Amino acid sequence: MVETEKIRVVIVDDIAETRENIRKLLQFEPDVEVVGVARTGREAIEIAKEAKPDVLLMDINMPDMDGIAATEIIRKNVPFTQIVILSIQNDPNYMRRAMLAGARDFLTKPPTIDELNSAIRRAGTNAREERQKLPQMSTVQSARSGSAQAFGSGGGVGGRVITIYSPKGGSGCTTLATNLAVCLNSEETSVVVVDANLQYGDVAVFLNEQGKFSILDLTPRADELDPEIINNVTIKHAQSGVRILAAPMKPEQSDSVTGEQFSQVIRYLREMFSYVIIDTASALTNITAAAIDNSDLLILITTQDIPSIKNSRLFLDEIDALGFDRKRIVFVMNKFDKRIGITPEKVSENLKQEITSVIPFEERVIVSVNRGIPFILIDKSRPLSRSFQALADAIKQRIAAIEAPAESLVQSKGNGRK
């Protein structure tokens, strides 16, 4: 691609005046070319297939098909096209749904010219990067399919990717991620913890480690990774041997990592480690969505407060709509306090998702965090430490349960060929 090539844009909105206003805003940008307009979601799908734009500006509310549904279809048909959602409602729930569907960005209507141009140029850069990789796409898809089959068949090829997520901040994702990593790490099973909270990640701090490198040193080389690069960039936790892939040093550096780059790194890590544990931010960014998409298991965390339970319900509704198998969810209630009347049983019944593990509230957790020593390394006999180990055991059992049917299927097919 030459640097002078224009970013090709399609505008989708059911109101003609809005389409025209956006077109006028862009007509004086020398590196942007509007190659089409559409007034419905179905028209957007057709024009995306025909014009194959770099960027598609998508209204979220349209009469025949909403922008989120259209986004999901377009991303499957034209994978390099980047979708920027436009909405009059600055609603986090809309943003979550948009990112899960594959949108690159989310702007509130009416966007300023600076907001619009910045979003288009970021998306345009990503589109060109993904389009350049198209000749390799079949190979990448085969690799992803092979990883999924290995997980299902118990063939031992590739590790298990476990994403830890809570739709509400402060639920204890990093505490759980670091302690779970220590539980799963052994001479037989190697573990790497990936800090996917790219703006304010604290995995290294929780383990009292500091290194010179971060995920930013891997993503530009996502196509050419090797074990030596991984070992040089990750940090080895002195006490447990767990490897750490740290977040960037500065929050503003997070924008330089794309969802596809992150996915490529995760797919490579699963070839090197028995378990890849991903600690995520509560905002449902493209990085978090990529983590969930690449996961064998998703650990969803809630606490006993109403906002956390409400957000968990919203999240479960969203992934149901996207066809995510709830058998791959390990639902955890963290910081459980018996004095509070909201019990795990009530939450399970209300959300129609069984709570697999209950992690008790322990005031001394803050002491372990400040010391940078996972709680399970301080006192393995306490209920909190035992609950971390029980969660690790539950994860192994869930993996075995998922593997078993696929292994039986493979064996039966093999017997049928004899």
What CATH code is carried by the domain that includes residue 46?
3.40.50.2300
- Residues facing residue 205 across a β-bridge: none
Name the residue among 261, 267, 254, 258 with its Cα closest to residue 296: 267
In a domain, 140, yes or no: no
User: Based on the domain organization, do 181 and 209 belong to the same domain?
Assistant: yes
**If pLDDT is split at 50, 70 and 90, which confidence band does 280 have?**
very high
Boundary-marking domain end, from 85, 103, 132: 132
In a domain, 2, yes or no: no
Boundary-marking domain end, from 100, 132, 164: 132
**If pLDDT is split at 50, 70 and 90, which confidence band does 416 have?**
low
Token pair, residue 185, equals 């790490």
User: Based on the domain organization, do 152 and 122 belong to the same domain?
Assistant: no
pLDDT at 156: 35
In a domain, 98, yes or no: yes
Burial class (CB in 10 A: 0-12, 13-18, 19+), 125: middle
Name the residue among 323, 318, 319, 314 with its Cα closest to residue 351: 314
User: Based on the domain organization, do 104 and 231 belong to the same domain?
Assistant: no
The residue-averaged pLDDT of 262-271 equals 92
User: Based on the domain organization, do 320 and 375 belong to the same domain?
Assistant: yes
Residue type (1 letter), 164: I
Boundary-marking domain end, from 110, 132, 154: 132
User: Based on the domain organization, do 239 and 122 belong to the same domain?
Assistant: no
47 against 253, higher pLDDT:
47
The residue-averaged pLDDT of 286-298 equals 90
User: Based on the domain organization, do 398 and 351 belong to the same domain?
Assistant: yes
In a domain, 363, yes or no: yes
In a domain, 333, yes or no: yes
In a domain, 1, yes or no: no
Tokens 């790497």, residue? 192
User: Based on the domain organization, do 375 and 230 belong to the same domain?
Assistant: yes
DSSP conformation letters of 349-362? HHHTS-EEEEEEP-
104 against 386, higher pLDDT:
386
- Is the pLDDT at 141 greater than 70? The verdict is no
Write phi, then psi, for 243 (nearest 5 degrees): -90, 150
Asked whether the whole model's pTM tops 0.75, one would answer no
User: Based on the domain organization, do 377 and 241 belong to the same domain?
Assistant: yes
Buried b (16+ CB within 10 A) or exposed e, 214-253: bbbbbbeebeebeeeebeebbbebeebebbbbbbbeeeee
User: Based on the domain organization, do 164 and 43 belong to the same domain?
Assistant: no
pLDDT at 323: 77
In a domain, 102, yes or no: yes
- Is the pLDDT at 54 greater than 90? The verdict is yes
Q: Which residue range forms the structural domain that includes residue 108?
A: 7-132
Tokens 């997070």, residue? 254
Distance, in Å, from the CA atom of 285 to the CA atom of 92, rounded to the nearest integer, reads: 11
User: Based on the domain organization, do 18 and 126 belong to the same domain?
Assistant: yes
In a domain, 280, yes or no: yes
User: Based on the domain organization, do 183 and 254 belong to the same domain?
Assistant: yes
pLDDT at 179: 93
**If pLDDT is split at 50, 70 and 90, which confidence band does 174 have?**
very high
Distance, in Å, from the CA atom of 397 to the CA atom of 230, rounded to the nearest integer, reads: 29
pLDDT in tens, 193-215: 999 999 999 999 999 998 889 99
Distance, in Å, from the CA atom of 260 to the CA atom of 104, rounded to the nearest integer, reads: 11
134 against 145, higher pLDDT:
134
Mean pLDDT of the chain: 84
The residue-averaged pLDDT of 319-344 equals 89
Name the residue among 311, 272, 319 with its Cα closest to residue 291: 319
Is 164 in contact with 301 (CB distance < 8 Å)? yes
Distance, in Å, from the CA atom of 265 to the CA atom of 267, rounded to the nearest integer, reads: 5
* Domain harbouring 322, CATH code: 3.40.50.300
The number of domains in the chain is 2
User: Based on the domain organization, do 55 and 176 belong to the same domain?
Assistant: no
CA neighbours within 13 Å on the CB side: how many for 407?
10
pLDDT at 137: 38
